[in-house]
Amino acid sequence: MSFNIALSGVSAAQRDLDTTANNIANVNTVGFKESRAEFGDVYASSLLAGGKTKVGDGVITQEVAQQFSQGSLQFTNNSLDLAVTGNGFFATVPEIESREYSYTRAGMFKLDANNFVVNSNGDNLLGFPVNNDGTSSSVALSTTQPVQIPDSSGSPQPTSEVSLKMNLPAGDDPVDLDAFDPEDPLTYNAATSVTVFDSLGDSHVMTYYFMKDQDQTNEWVVATYMDDLPLNTEGDTVGTPPTTGPNVVGESTSPVSGFRMTFSAGGDFNGIQNANGSPSSIGEVTSVALGGTILSNGSEASQTIKTDFAFDASSATSGEPTQFASAFEVTSLEQDGLAVGRLTGIDIGADGLVRATYSNGTSEPIIRVALVRFANDQGLTQQSNTQWQESILSGEALAGEATTGTFGDINSSALEQANVNLTTELIDLIIAQRNFQANSRALEVNNQLNQTILNIR
């Protein structure tokens, strides 16, 4: 019996040595969770055995249990390196259409040939589909899909409005409106330009020419050109582009319908004058449709561009144009169009939302990285490559979003290191070695006792 007891001790010490050695071997394995050998004594007795004098039958290895404590974070320069702080596992599948789920804390992800996010084993990372506002449309594991980074360009946005604020010099000499020529700077007082975009993302230069009227005090006529072609205005301020009238410039050559800006004696903006010469209480003008006159590249022909001067009829504000005795100065010039954008980066938030950013300044949500938790992490079935699978003991996989409920945060450009304390493992290695030696000594003593009995004559 004593031989069996000593042998069980040797076997337990060997299991302890193996467990400790495996922990040490994986001290630099990302997402690795250390194991702990758990032992129990063996005590067998029968109905008629003397319980008070019964000696144990040795030791047995009950379980090699993994410890799912948090590992430290190592920060990287790769935005696809992900680490979970807190509770949760990344979900992966070996094939795009597969539902053979595996779960891991190792977030060393990269792109494959089709721009899918995969780990070093080639397994696809799963995420929840999202709406245009970034909210998840579903958080069920069955609705997850492989995370794929788009290779398309950012959609363009046609310009619909230009916001303009400037100071027109009150001391400038008036000009002859009939002599206006955009190629002759002596025929106008000032000009400024802004780049606008059509529905296809093509850029166009929109230029405003300011002319101080020689016949009307504190009034300016503005002619608008796009790509060196006259761009007439329409709507409440001008109406149908006329061939003659107070708002027509360049009558001697090719008449252009402009709009007239009026100012008070104190230099405050009074609004834009109507085509019939009556005062107006608005501060914006709209161009005619660009198709047929400016655009010929197949873009939206009905596109118009509104120029807004932020006019407030009740009182003068700091956002309005002025006519002061100072130089011409544009203090604000903005437009709301966007060119075609190329993909410049990927941002992954703490909630797992993957957002693509483009060179035109836009960004759009793509997908949200899914997290999965279990009632009993230690019940998971271990696999290679720091992956686990669901089992009866672990309970059913419950999917959810990071930062919600009991789920942890997702850290981009970071990796979770193994939760192995090397100093502790080396101490455990010494203890396991001593236990092995002690049990080996017990075997040696038992052998000597048996040899002594065999030598009795």
Backbone angles phi, psi at 36, to 5 degrees: -135, 125
pLDDT grade, residue 53 (50/70/90)?
low
Class of domain 161-335: mainly beta
Torsion, Cα 70 74 78 79, to 10 degrees, reads: 40
**Rounded Cα distance, 391 and 139, in Å:** 21
> Residue 426 belongs to what H/E stretch?
helix 422-454
Q: What is the DSSP letter of 289?
A: P
Confidence class for position 402, pLDDT limits 50, 70, 90: very high
Q: What are phi and psi of 234, to 5 degrees?
A: -145, 180
- Tokens 């709507």 belong to residue: 235
454: helix, strand or coil: helix
d(CA 91, CA 376): 17
pLDDT at residue 30, rounded to an integer: 94
Which pLDDT tens digit goes with each residue over 175-234?
A: 988 888 888 999 999 999 999 999 998 999 999 999 998 888 888 989 899 988 888 775
Residue 263: partners with Cβ closer than 8 Å, 6 or more residues away:
168, 218, 219, 220, 269, 270, 321, 322, 323
Dihedral pair phi/psi, residue 281, rounded to 5°: -110, 20
| Residue 287: φ, ψ to 5° | -75, 160
Residues 19-46, mean pLDDT to the nearest whole number? 87
* Mean pLDDT value across residues 151-163: 85
Q: CA–CA distance from 33 to each of 158, 201, 374 (Å)?
A: 53, 51, 16
CB 386 within 8 A of CB 71: no
Residue environment code for 134-150, b if the CB has 16+ CB neighbours within 10 A, otherwise e: bebeebebeebebbbbe
Provide the whole-model pTM: 0.69
Give residue limits of the domains in the chain.
Answer: 2-69+419-454, 73-153+343-416, 161-335
What does the alpha-carbon distance between residue 132 and residue 130 come to, in Å, rounded to a whole number?
A: 7
In percent, how much of the chain has pLDDT > 70? 90
Query: Contact at 8 Å (CB) between 299 and 289?
Result: no
Give Cβ neighbours of residue 86 (< 8 Å, ≥ 6 apart).
70, 406, 407, 408, 409
Mean pLDDT, rounded, for 112-119? 93
- The answer to whether residues 124 and 97 touch, using CB atoms and an 8 Å cutoff, is no
Contact 154, 362 (CB under 8 A): yes
Tens of pLDDT along 268-319?
A: 998 887 655 666 667 788 887 888 667 778 888 889 999 999 888 777 788 8
**Digit-coded pLDDT (tens) for 236-268:** 333 334 445 555 565 545 567 788 888 999 999
For range 436-440, the mean pLDDT: 84
